[in-house]
Chains A and B, each alone.
Chain A
């Protein structure tokens, strides 16, 4: 009787057969575009006038971009936005996640319900909040006036618009932090808490000295993922502010889209996209190193 525990074939055929569709698709949809992008970025080229062809201009697109104050404004705005919303999301998410790891009636229903905003289309979120934040008839200003404050022109001024965008992004993505934080907190062995209780440690002490450090690897991954996502945020601003007032709420992604598809400066847009890509790949590399370290420990 044949009692082998391995199949007759080595599986090479299956590996190639099962992986090749995905590999071909992704090479075609990712690798090829990125190489083309790098190629365009060294040329004076407009997709609107392909007949004029590509003129090699070396680093001129990059030099132009980096010496243009307009682009720096986009980076500064993106930086402020990323800092504001990631900070708020991490604090809120860890807080809510900590509350949700306690056992109480209806916890799982609440947990599931709280995940909802993350599942919505950013465009719907953007318009929904634009509707609620309207300075004249929006419900947010109605609540603000109930507390005796004056109406705020949320989306009509640069400062409030930045905060409004951060609040909306926080609304959408805090659930993601809650999700990961709760999972991390629940993974901490009960015995450690019991030991802390025996020692008479206060709740705050336990939280800052036990819970946070022990869940730090997962929280770090959550942080990097949110940094990457909020750095490339585009959809939300299309719906919420349209980049305005003026160009004060344009992110770097927004600037790439505008340069490429409103002005059709394809070469310049490519160069900016390459810069954006490098920053995000840098963040992704940190993430991957961290992920593989975690993987090695398990």
Chain B
């Protein structure tokens, strides 16, 4: 009976595909779950073999990250908590400035045709392709000369630099979605373009600005290459602190796991907030045009 054999084959291939998707999901999400579980383990439980799934939770890793309790990191020059503060300040300020600049540039690129616009857009995009180590050789010397080495201000400059191109592209996409008639109504009524931009267009892209800020924050928050080379003691961010978290007893896994979860949490929040704009932002508007 060829009919039933075909049906059996179709069913089999459907189950195989489903199994593969399930396996991929485990590969994709398992490590993140494992990190969250491990962050609550005591030192002894972390290295238990076979791995323990039932254990009494231990918060010493989190205590050191948030600077409370006896576990407060004192051995190194910058504690984990100070790194967390640095990360929050640098990412927040850097994101705010990058989104501000990106909004201005994005609006102009969306509404005007001017000479060199294509070159400008490409130049701005190319900053994302640049290998950090290429410019780091120069930044290392420039930051030392300008007194920006190992400072939070220096890292804010970096956070703005790595994000302004992305912010410009995403914001251009959102401005493209606002009909030109909005401004024309303002012109007809005798208002200037500046007024139309601030009072009419800007409120219409509020969601877009929030999404752009979410993206920029995630990139600034995760930035490592620049921060690791340009900071030594005073302005280490949390990712840099994690990378150097080895104490007298080897790598401080309890601290690393807890700090890892703390690094993930804001990403999860922003990620949830921008989930509907994911496609728009990550593909530089290429797909949005369809």
In the complex, are the beta carbons of B193 and A124 less than 8 A apart? no
A76 within 8 A of B: no
B15 within 8 A of A: no
**A50 nearest CB neighbor, chain B only:** B141
Number of interface residues of A (CB under 8 A): 95
**B214 nearest CB neighbor, chain A only:** A119
Which residue of B108, B137, B140, B193 is within 8 Å of A19 (Cβ)? B108
* A-contacting residues, B115-140, CB 8 Å: 118, 120, 122-127, 129-140
Stretch at the interface among A25-33, A67-75, A153-161: A25-33
Q: For residue B78, which residues in chain A have a CB less than 8 angstroms away from its CB?
A: none
A142 within 8 A of B: yes
A184 within 8 A of B: yes
* A-contacting residues, B159-178, CB 8 Å: 160-161, 164-165, 168
In the complex, are the beta carbons of A187 and B290 less than 8 A apart? yes
* Contact flag A142-B49 (CB < 8 Å), given A15-B108, A183-B279: yes
Quick one: CB contact mask for B256-270 with A, threshold 8 Å, 1 for yes?
110010011001100
**B48 nearest CB neighbor, chain A only:** A137
In the complex, are the beta carbons of B282 and A37 less than 8 A apart? no
In the complex, are the beta carbons of A3 and B188 less than 8 A apart? yes
A215 to B193, CA, bound (A): 40
In the complex, are the beta carbons of B135 and A25 less than 8 A apart? no
Shortest A258–chain B CB gap in Å is 10
* Contact flag A294-B286 (CB < 8 Å), given A256-B137, A269-B137: yes
A256 to B32, CA, bound (A): 31
Number of interface residues of B (CB under 8 A): 98
A244 within 8 A of B: no
In the complex, are the beta carbons of B105 and A19 less than 8 A apart? yes
Shortest B77–chain A CB gap in Å is 19
In the complex, are the beta carbons of A239 and B243 less than 8 A apart? yes
Q: For residue B286, which residues in chain A have a CB less than 8 angstroms away from its CB?
A: 218, 221, 291, 294-295
Q: Report which A residues bind B (CB closer than 8 A).
A: 2-9, 11, 14-15, 17-19, 21-23, 25-26, 29-30, 32-34, 36-37, 40, 47, 50, 92, 95-96, 99, 110, 112-117, 119-124, 127-129, 131-132, 136-137, 139, 142, 171, 174-176, 179-180, 183-184, 187, 203, 218, 221, 228, 232, 234-235, 238-239, 253, 256-257, 260-261, 266, 269-270, 273-274, 276-277, 280-281, 283-284, 288, 291-292, 294-295, 298
